[in-house]
Structure 1
C-alpha cells in the first residue's frame, strides 16, 4: 500500500462525487495554500538577493512580477518570470508563454454575469468581489462568473484576497496580457 503521495499541479483535483477514489486527501490551492504558501513562488526576501546577484534593479522586478499575496507570507513573485528576467537580464512577458487565455476569452465574449466589466475593472487596478465556493474544477461546467473567476485564480490570471473575498490582477505582467486579450475580445 502507499503510505504517502505528493502530487503537484496548477489546478485542484477534480472531485466527481462524494465517493471519491482518493480519500484522506489534503489539498493546497491558490485559495487555501495553508503552510505551503511561501513555496508557491519566490518571496520578496528571496528576490532581493537574486536581483543583486544578477545585477537587475529590484524595483523593476517588483513592479513587473510581484502581486500574489498570502496571509502571513506577504508578497509572492512569479518564479518562472523572475528566473527568466534575471537569466535573460530583461524585463519581459514570460508568464503568458506558460498558458493560453483562450478559456477566459470565451467567457469574456459571452459576458457571463457581467464578467467583461469585472475583467476591465480589474485590468484598471480595481478589486472585484468573487464567490469561490461553487467551483468544481471542471473546464466544461463553468456556468457563472464566480466559477470562471475562481478558475482564473487557480491559473494565475487573477489573485485572491481571502480576507476581503475579492479578486484582482496580480501584477503588471498579467495586467498587460489581460489588456491585450481585452483589445482582441472587445476592441478597446
Structure 2
C-alpha cells in the first residue's frame, strides 16, 4: 500500500527475539515510516537518549568494550541472574546490560544467553549516546570518518582506504586487542556508514590473523556494489585479495548480478602501517 521495501523495514525495526513469537516490531516506528515514506529513527522520540547514555556511562567493568563490540555487530554473553530488578543497583556490566534489555535498548537471545543491538534504529541511539564525552571520543571519531572511508572504497582509492582503516585500527585498539575478533569489529566500526545501504555479514575466519566482512546491498540500494573486505596482519594486501578469491567468498553472491568489489587490507603489527588493494570481481 505504501510502496515501501519490506527488507528495509526489517533492517530498521525488527530484531528482538522471543520464543514462539516470531518477529517483533515497534508499531510506532513502522507507522511513522509508512506515513512519512522514509525509514528513520522514530522509536527514540518516545524517550531521550540521555536515558541510554546515563547507563552506558556507568562503564561497569567490561561494559564499554561490550558496547563497542555490539555497535560493530557482535553478540555478547550475559549473566542475567545478578540483576536486582531495579534502576539503581548495578554491580557489573551484566547488570547494566540486563536493564538495557528491559528498556528495549538490547535484544536478548535466551537460547544462547547473549545480548545484541537489535536493529538500525536502536543502533543509531548508541551512536547518538556516544557522541559526547571524552571516554567515547575514540568511537565517535571513528564513526564520523566512516562516510569518507566508504566513499574511498566506491572511488577505488586504495591509499585512502588504507589510511582510513589504519586510523580506525590504531584508535580503537586502545579499547580492543589485536585478535581476529577485534580486527573484525574494527572493520565493522570503520565501515559503520555502510549500514545505510547494506546488510553486513561477518564471515568466520579460518586462519591466523584475518577478519572478513561481506556487504550485500539492500534492494533499494541495488546501484551500490557488493563488497567483500578482508584484513590480514603481517601479509600483503595482495595476499588478502588472493585469500578472498581462494575462499570464493563471491560464492555467497552467486545470485547477485551487480558489481562486486574485493577490498584487501594488510596490517603490519611491527610498523602499524596498513596498505590496501581494491579489485573488481570478475565472475
Instruction: Pick the TM interval, shorter chain.
Output: 0.5 to 0.7
Map 1:9-158 → 2, pairs under 5 A: 53-158=1-106
Q: Distance in 2 between matches of 1:144 and 1:72?
A: 30
TM-score normalised over the length of structure 1 = 0.67
Q: Distance in 1 between matches of 2:85 and 2:27?
A: 24
The 3 A distance-change label for structure 1 pair 110 and 70 is: closer
Displacement of 1:132 after TM fit? 1.0
Displacement of 1:155 after TM fit? 0.7
Higher strand content, 1 or 2? 2
Displacement of 1:174 after TM fit? 0.7
Displacement of 1:98 after TM fit? 1.4
Post-superposition CA distance 1:33-90 (Å, at most 9, x none): xxxxxxxxxxxxxxxxxxxx22211122111111112222332112221111112221
- Contact 2:50/2:129 (8 A) holds in 1: no
Report the 3-state secondary structure (helix = DSSP H, G, I; strand = E; otherwise coil) of the residue aligned with 1:125: coil
Displacement of 1:103 after TM fit? 4.0
The 3 A distance-change label for structure 1 pair 102 and 143 is: farther
Larger Rg: 2
Q: Distance in 1 between matches of 2:50 and 2:92?
A: 17
Higher relative contact order (CA 8 A, sep 6+): 1
Q: Distance in 2 between matches of 1:148 and 1:54?
A: 39
Q: What is the aligned partner in structure 2 of residue 161 from structure 1?
A: 109
Post-superposition CA distance 1:1-55 (Å, at most 9, x none): xxxxxxxxxxxxxxxxxxxxxxxxxxxxxxxxxxxxxxxxxxxxxxxxxxxx222
Of 121, 132, 147 in structure 2, the residue corresponding to residue 184 of structure 1 is: 132
User: Which runs of 4 or more aligned residues in structure 1 lie more than 3 Å from their structure 2 counterparts after TM superposition?
Assistant: none
- Contact 1:130/1:166 (8 A) holds in 2: yes
Post-superposition CA distance 1:140-172 (Å, at most 9, x none): 212321111111001111000000101000001
- Contact 1:105/1:181 (8 A) holds in 2: yes
- Segment drifting more, 72-81 vs 144-153: 72-81
- Contact 2:101/2:108 (8 A) holds in 1: yes
Report the 3-state secondary structure (helix = DSSP H, G, I; strand = E; otherwise coil) of the residue aligned with 2:132: helix
Structure 1 unmatched ranges of 5 or more: 1-52
- Contact 2:15/2:119 (8 A) holds in 1: yes
TM-score normalised over the length of structure 2 = 0.45
